[in-house]
Chains A and B, each alone.
Chain A
């Protein structure tokens, strides 16, 4: 992968520093909204967080977090679910960078919030040079030991299930640019979440399951990207089946 421009490296370094500085303000605000206003909870949170820490510590190489996607706040819920917020101060690289669609952040408030929330924008279907630049930033972050999280479906699932038909292949390109990348698949769902929504349902309880995947392919180019993306989506779909099996059986989540 081509190295990214020095300017981009400086901006990412500045963004990380600013995000860290403002974390003591932003994180409790987000936590207040999640816990008090929305009354959300994570089932077996201690187990989920212990498993996340164990998986991340066991993996010395780059890690890309791939999650299913049903609400606009999934990125925030993911950060909260995976670790107690104060622990990010000691392991700030575990506060994953996100790769949201640029057009979703049109107001200055959301621009600032996303900057402090470690977001790197992507323009879906944008010019090749811009996509390459974004991929370069992601590769740089992964190689620097930062976690990066994306939603491999390319958007909130309109079917309320992991979309195994109409998913994007961008995640495959990300794995291609840093081939040693491991993928931490996260299946996350509120019990009240029957379809896709803007915001999570008030009082909802989230189940979170984690599995590490090492996708590989002998194919290159677009074919390789499709192959890698398909493996990740299939894993999430498997985790979804396991989630509904657990729900039907009434057994609790064990991350």
Chain B
């Protein structure tokens, strides 16, 4: 799957959890989930589980911990798919 395609899917998945929706429109690889998009830290688990369901992958706890930005999310997903 192409990087951009994964990125677009990630945006779609996190959308329901984002509080700062205006920031989502201009989001890029460096956009931080908690600080920039206002995602509740407790909901990061839901986001990781949604990635697992959407991409049919398993993300272990250590990999989940690395998801801080949208770029991190794409990287972790692509690593698990390989």
Residues of chain A touching chain B, judged by Cβ–Cβ distance below 8 Å, are: 124-125, 128, 154, 166-169, 221-223, 225-226
- Any A CB within 8 A of the CB of B40: yes
**Max chain B Cβ within 10 angstroms of own Cβ: one of A166, A221, A225, A226:** A221
Say whether A166 contacts B62, CB under 8 Å.
no
Interface segment out of the listed B7-15, B22-30, B43-51, B71-79: B43-51
* Complex Cα gap A225–B45 (Å): 10
Kindly state whether residue B1 has any CB partner on chain A within 8 Å. Answer: no
Could you list 22 examples of A-B contacts with CB < 8 Å?
A: A124-B41, A125-B41, A128-B61, A128-B62, A154-B42, A166-B40, A166-B42, A166-B43, A167-B42, A168-B42, A169-B42, A169-B45, A221-B60, A221-B61, A222-B45, A222-B61, A222-B64, A223-B49, A223-B52, A225-B45, A226-B45, A226-B46
Q: Which residue of A lies closest to B59 (CB)?
A: A222
What DSSP secondary structure best describes chain B's contact surface? helix
Residues of B bordering A, CB below 8 Å: 40-43, 45-46, 48-49, 52, 60-62, 64-65
CA distance A180 to B41 in the complex (A): 28
> A217 to nearest B CB, angstroms?
13
* B-chain residues with CB within 8 Å of residue A128 when the two chains form the complex: 61-62, 65
Whole-angstrom distance between the Cβ of A171 and the nearest chain B Cβ: 11
Give the interface centre of B40, B41, B43, B45 by most chain A CB atoms within 10 Å.
B45
Cα(A5)–Cα(B41), bound, Å: 29
Given contacts A128-B62, A221-B61, contact A226 B49 (CB under 8 A): yes
Q: What 7 A-B pairs have minimum CB-CB distances, sorted nearest first?
A: A168-B42, A125-B41, A222-B45, A169-B45, A128-B65, A166-B40, A223-B49
Contacts of A225 in B (CB 8 A): 45
B82 to chain A, nearest CB (A): 20
**B residues in contact with A226, CB < 8 Å:** 45-46, 49
Chain A residues within an 8 Å CB radius of B60: 221
B11 to chain A, nearest CB (A): 21
Other than the given A166-B43, A223-B52, 16 more pairs (CB < 8 A) read A124-B41, A125-B41, A128-B65, A154-B42, A166-B40, A167-B42, A168-B42, A169-B42, A169-B45, A221-B61, A222-B45, A222-B48, A222-B61, A223-B49, A226-B45, A226-B49
Which residue of chain B has the shortest Cβ distance to A219 in the bound complex? B49
Measured CB to CB, the nearest residue on chain B to A166 is B40
What separation, in Å, do the CA atoms of A166 and B17 have in the docked complex?
10
What residues on B are CB-neighbors of A124 within 8 Å?
Answer: 41
CA gap between A225 and B61 in the complex, in Å = 12
CB of B34, distance to nearest CB on chain A (Å): 8
Chain B residue, CB-CB nearest to A225: B45
Which residues on B sit within 8 Å (CB–CB) of A166?
Answer: 40, 42-43
Residue of A nearest to B62 (CB): A128
Q: How many Å from the CB of B56 to the closest CB on chain A?
A: 14
Taken together as a complex, chains A and B put the C-alpha atoms of A222 and B41 apart, in Å, by 14
Q: Whose C-beta in chain A lies nearest to the C-beta of B60?
A: A221
The residue of chain A having its C-beta at the shortest distance from the C-beta of B40 within the complex is A166
A125 to B41, CA, bound (A): 7
In the complex, A222→B64 CA distance in Å? Answer: 10
